[in-house]
Amino acid sequence: MADMTDTLFIVLAAGEGTRMRSATPKVLHPLAGRPMLACVLAACREAADADIAVVVGPDGDNVAECARKTAPGAQVFVQGERLGTAHAVLAARGAVRAEHKRVLVLFGDTPLITAATLAPLADAVTDGTAVAVLGFQAADPSGYGRLLTDGGELVAIREEKDATEAERAVTFCNSGVMGFAGASVLSLLETIGNDNAKGEYYLTDAVEIARERGLRTVALEGDETEVGGINDRVQLAAAERVCQQRLRHAAMAAGATLIDPETVHLSHDTQLGRDVVVEPNVVFAPGVTVEEGARIRAFSHLETAHVGAGAVIGPYARLRPGADIAEDVRIGNFVEIKNAEIGEGAKVNHLAYVGDAGVAAGANVGAGTITCNYDGERKHRTEIGANAFIGSNTALVAPVRIGAGAYVGSGSVITKDVPDGALAIARGRQTEVPGWVAKRGAGKDKGK
Q: Among the candidate windows 96-104, 178-186, 225-233, 272-280, which touches Mg ion by CB under 5 A? A: 225-233
Q: Give the DSSP per-residue string, 286-323.
A: SS-EE-TT-EE-TT-EE-SEEE-TT-EE-SS-EE-TTE
- Is residue 106 within 8 Å of 176, Cβ to Cβ? yes
To ligand UD1, the closest distance from the beta carbon of 201 in angstroms equals 8
Enumerate residues 31-90 that contact ligand UD1 by CB under 6 A: 55, 79, 82-85, 87-88
Stretch that binds ligand UD1, among 112-120, 169-177, 254-262, 298-306 (CB under 6 A): 169-177
Determine if 14 is a binding residue for ligand UD1 (CB under 6 A). Answer: yes
Which residues, listed in sequence order, are joined to residue 146 by a DSSP beta bridge? 158, 173
Rule CB under 6 A: is residue 202 a binding residue for ligand UD1? yes
User: What is the separation, in whole angstroms, between the first and last Cα of the chain?
Assistant: 94
249 Cβ contact partners less than 8 Å away, ≥ 6 residues apart: none
12 near ligand UD1, judged by CB under 6 A: yes
Choose which of 40, 44, 92, 107 interacts with ligand UD1 (CB under 6 A).
107
Do residues 267 and 273 touch, judged by C-beta distance below 8 A?
no
Least distance (Å) between residue 129 CB and ligand UD1 = 19
Comparison of 141 and 308: residue with beta carbon closer to ligand UD1? 141
- Looking at the Cβ atoms of 202 and 407, the one nearer to ligand UD1 is 202
Cβ closer to ligand UD1: 135 or 308?
135
Nearest CA to 403 out of 366, 358, 349 is that of 358
The CB density around residue 16, as the number of other CB atoms within 10 Å, is 12
Closest by CA to 307, choosing from 277, 287, 327, is 327
Q: Is 91 exposed, middle or buried (0-12, 13-18, 19+ CB in 10 A)?
A: buried
Window 174-213: contact mask with Mg ion (x via CB under 5 A): ----------------------------------------
Is the Cβ of residue 138 or residue 264 nearer to ligand UD1 in the bound state? 138
Contact between 109 and ligand UD1 per CB under 6 A:
yes
Active-site amino acid positions? 350
Cα-Cα-Cα-Cα torsion 139, 144, 145, 148, nearest 10 degrees, comes to 10
29 binds ligand UD1 (CB under 6 A): no
Footprint of Mg ion (CB under 5 A): 229
Footprint of ligand UD1 (CB under 6 A): 12, 14-15, 55, 79, 82-85, 87-88, 107-109, 144-145, 157, 159, 173-176, 202-204, 229
